A and B are shown apart, each in its own frame.
Chain A
């Protein structure tokens, strides 16, 4: 029996990292929001690696924070180790990564959701989505509850028709021993959504008591923790170490001997797996000349003995997994607590989405997270936040928030998937961002806080604090420009010591910091008027000065890029009727329906000649339109 269970402004289906951000953003923006999840205990579950951040991903978390999302705050509260990666390289690729206490991470997030005004959280499996014309109308749960709404955000992750594969054993089921959602896929197909099937996997969790850390290399966190969130003042915790060990010839032999049992090679798995997350079988086969592969042992939490074996993702049978793990140094007597598995699931072809993450052709239907063909908690959260914001903006009758490739990694991520689609689970990488030097993790707040404020997710207190920082940065740069050092013996001695050139003319502190061999910090003694500024300010000052030349170079590129982004293409353009376009371009453009000329030029299979034709057509079109309007 079905029954009417209530009316909500926005319904979020799924309580993972995307769903949490969507629901919080929507509720915080004043909409009556319902979060539906199949299991309340798996809210914000981290079914794979126990960490948040990393290269590219750390940038995403900082951006989520600047826009008023939750992930950064939540990991700040629950981390057990933190590390700034890539510090040997330049500031643009510094990336923050924290090991999470998985259970605490979930508990904290659930607490935040439960405290949120306007947000209702219920345990249900959604089996059907109903439309009214081309608008969403309601969702129906397995138990017959009908929730009416005008906006739905689908954030079901890897749960749709998910199938677990371990060697020759396979069964229907979701990640981490949970149930999959078997009916929603059919409903999506019914309303016209095209589905793909992807595959991913996770390594075994092993028992700490059975591991000999003496034989491994310890990997500690940073001495001083840098928080993810602008709001977090500082983090003082006892950090838990990770460990590094290696596979060896024996491990590889076990794998080779049992390769025929791997479903990847026997054909039992047909889904497309990610290249950046290869199973150990894949690594051994594809890189057969490598005598060893790294394995990172990461704790799953402070109060558990479970350890995550990064680098050993596998779908070999359980007995082979054990045999394989026991060849590794330090794991000779290892006990598996949870087996590694591969998982296949339904996801949508993201080319069906607008850059707002709304589904083309159905009003009020949004998709975010792993169901869009991405991978990773951070990628999911970023999309969740944007979908939540855009569903809200739509209800308010405002135009959607679309970040472009020069504004944020989030922009790069969404533009990539909705423009190029993806053939494997999409992971953020810094190499995907053309304007990487501008999109730094250290300036995410400077790039995006104003946007977060405009939307309404950044409160006044935080905004004041942000403006204060911004002014401090500007003033300090100005001061450094205006402070000119006399060419005296002190300066000469300092420069000699730094192997830096000295001349008989005065030089500003600004010019000195520009030199690669001299840092802001080192000028301390020569800089008599230096105030006591916070580290995030001095760091920003130094980066902006030191890399000014390259940053300017990229800003020029961005300017060119923006010109094309600003040339908007009317939504109702009919590519089939443009005879000058080549057939391939017509099809591709018709499928993606780019919002701007810049967007169109990034579609593979669309040539510069096609773009010219499009420009001509648009001009023609707009003249016809204006002629029509004048005639009325």
Chain B
């Protein structure tokens, strides 16, 4: 629908592990959007900076957490490539910060740019000269075709089918509501608010599942956030090193975020694990003090997968019991270290307390490490962190539309709860249906009318 008037954003460096990444935004809301997500180091106001200045600071998410350290170029129209206000955010390379920043621009009101759209705007706003016009048309065509092909390819199979199914479900609700509205005197089985609510909830769950699997898809691309926890001196650092082994794949250094941290990635049979708080693991290893429960809770809340390490030789003490309580029913494994020594821990007791699978290892003697890796792999691939999910929904645009679609249904459900009239609920359901349609490229109102007449016997 929006061709020129809204603000668009895109990643403008090749996606991958290049040193520097750039997200670029153009449109009259660019400045408004960057202000919402940019914390300037100097503490000065964004507006106080002159045009065409480069500003140093941090990109923060909606909760105020720092996402990355960046340089922001402020370029106000009309002397820009597109003649509109343009904001360029230079951040650390690598897919994670770039994608996160792009997502934040979306959350704050930008729309993802279509292929060739920056160039198109440049042209439409009079930036390019006449002779370039034909070339621009060609670019739009070829890029649109290519992206079309790509999206068609992506949409083949499950995602497209799933979304069509969900849309059909929504259409059925819509048809019931609409037939009831347009033919009030006919004995159509009208859906009660309760039934609409029930069916809408089911559909919303389906959409949320897709979003969840897509988030998992991203997890797999970016690494499953893994916490290694345990008492000081239990062997966390050694375990980390043992797992890293030769497969030490990627080390990204992100300076100036919360504090200097090093993120380690471990590749377990193709599944990347991103170890959280490695610095903490190494630091506490040398301390002979109690673990900070608050700190542990914080780490656990960030993680998708947990490795709890216990000392088989020493047995379970109060601290371990506290940890077992914290990890209970979470996704992860308990590893009992020092299996080569005399054991004071009963495997059964650990399982009872944690509801997790337990594996016995000796890091020192390199016993059971392969088994641990296999169990990590099995545990992840058998859980709802579905590795296929990545293939299903990976496109940020799609994820955004799914989220908007789910949000519309949430509004609808709230409307039903508040007792709002059915034609208002219908607005939300229609909206949700439209958003899904945008993913698969179908949004035609006539569908509803067709559905009404095919489903109901109405008319004079």
Contact = CB atoms under 8 A, between A and B. Distances in A.
Contacts of A274: 459
Interface stretch (B30-38, B102-110, B132-140): B132-140
B420 A550 contact: yes
A601 B1 CA distance: 8
Nearest to A420: B446
Contact of B445 (A86, A313, A434, A609): A434
Given A294-B187, A430-B182, A611-B3, 4 more contacts: A55-B182, A89-B184, A310-B460, A580-B138
Nearest to A624: B130
Interface stretch (A112-120, A275-283, A487-495): A275-283
B449 interface: yes
B3 A597 contact: yes
A437 B423 contact: yes
A330 interface: no
B17 interface: no
Interface in A264-305: 274-278, 283, 286-287, 290, 293-294, 296
In the A-B complex, the 7 residue pairs with the smallest Cβ-Cβ separation, listed nearest first, are A90-B421, A580-B137, A287-B457, A275-B453, A276-B459, A609-B144, A431-B178
B186 interface: yes
Interface stretch (A36-44, A167-175, A350-358, A614-622): A614-622
B364 interface: no
A616 B459 contact: no
Interface in A221-241: none
B435 to A, nearest CB: 13
Contact of B184 (A85, A516, A563, A609): A85
B316 to A, nearest CB: 49
Contact of A49 (B185, B424, B460): B460
A623 B460 contact: no
B460 A313 contact: yes
A343 B39 CA distance: 72
B448 A431 contact: yes
Interface in A554-568: 554, 560-561, 563-564
Contacts of B458: 276
A311 B183 contact: no
The bracket for how many chain A residues form the interface is 35 or more
Contacts of B124: 615-616, 619
Contact of A89 (B181, B183, B459): B181
Given A203-B460, A296-B185, A547-B424, A580 B418 contact: no
B442 to A, nearest CB: 11
A501 to B, nearest CB: 12
B188 to A, nearest CB: 10
20 contacts: A56-B182, A89-B184, A93-B181, A95-B184, A274-B459, A275-B453, A293-B457, A294-B186, A429-B449, A430-B178, A431-B449, A431-B452, A437-B423, A550-B424, A560-B2, A611-B3, A612-B114, A613-B137, A616-B120, A619-B133
A434 B434 CA distance: 12
A519 to B, nearest CB: 12
Nearest to B2: A560
Interface of B: 1-5, 114, 120, 123-124, 126, 130, 133-134, 136-138, 140-141, 144, 148, 178, 180-187, 415, 418-424, 427, 444-446, 448-449, 452-453, 457-460
Nearest to A604: B444
Given A55-B184, A616-B133, A550 B427 contact: yes
A276 B455 CA distance: 12
B123 A619 contact: yes
A517 interface: yes
A579 interface: yes
Contacts of A601: 1
Interface in A335-360: none
A24 B420 CA distance: 41
A155 B52 CA distance: 63
A437 B422 contact: no
Nearest to A561: B1
Contacts of A92: 421, 423-424
B133 A516 contact: no
Which of B186, B445, B457 has the largest number of chain A CB atoms within 10 A? B457
Interface of A: 48-49, 55-56, 85-86, 89-93, 95, 203, 274-278, 283, 286-287, 290, 293-294, 296, 310-311, 313, 420, 429-432, 434, 436-437, 516-517, 547, 550, 553-554, 560-561, 563-564, 579-580, 597, 601, 604, 608-609, 611-613, 615-617, 619-620, 623-624
Contacts of A617: 133, 137
A564 B133 contact: no
A55 B2 contact: no
B457 A286 contact: yes
A580 B114 CA distance: 17
A497 B400 CA distance: 43
Contacts of A276: 453, 458-459
A612 B181 contact: no
A564 B422 contact: no
A427 to B, nearest CB: 9
Contact of A86 (B5, B140, B181): B181
Contacts of B452: 431
A623 B136 CA distance: 15
Nearest to B455: A287
A205 to B, nearest CB: 13
B427 A437 contact: yes
A85 B423 contact: no
B3 A437 contact: no
A85 B180 CA distance: 11
A431 B420 CA distance: 18
A564 B3 contact: yes
Contacts of A310: 460
Contacts of A293: 457
B314 to A, nearest CB: 56
A283 B457 contact: yes
A178 B181 CA distance: 36
Contact of A277 (B178, B415, B460): B460
Contact of A432 (B4, B123, B420, B449): B449
B265 to A, nearest CB: 39
A612 B140 contact: yes
Contacts of B183: 55
Contact of A612 (B120, B422, B424, B448): B120
A274 B453 CA distance: 10
A431 B181 contact: yes
A604 to B, nearest CB: 7
A593 to B, nearest CB: 19
Which of B180, B418, B423 has the largest number of chain A CB atoms within 10 A? B423
Nearest to A309: B460
Contacts of B186: 294
A517 to B, nearest CB: 7
Contacts of B136: 616
Nearest to B143: A609
Contacts of A85: 184-185
A431 B460 contact: no
A288 to B, nearest CB: 10
A612 B144 contact: yes
Nearest to B418: A516
Contacts of A554: 427
Nearest to B457: A287
A530 B453 CA distance: 47
A296 B3 CA distance: 49
A631 B459 CA distance: 62
A563 B5 contact: yes
A95 B183 CA distance: 11
A278 B459 contact: yes
A437 B460 contact: no
A432 to B, nearest CB: 7
Nearest to A276: B459
Nearest to B120: A612
Contacts of B114: 608, 612
Contacts of A91: 421
B423 A436 contact: yes
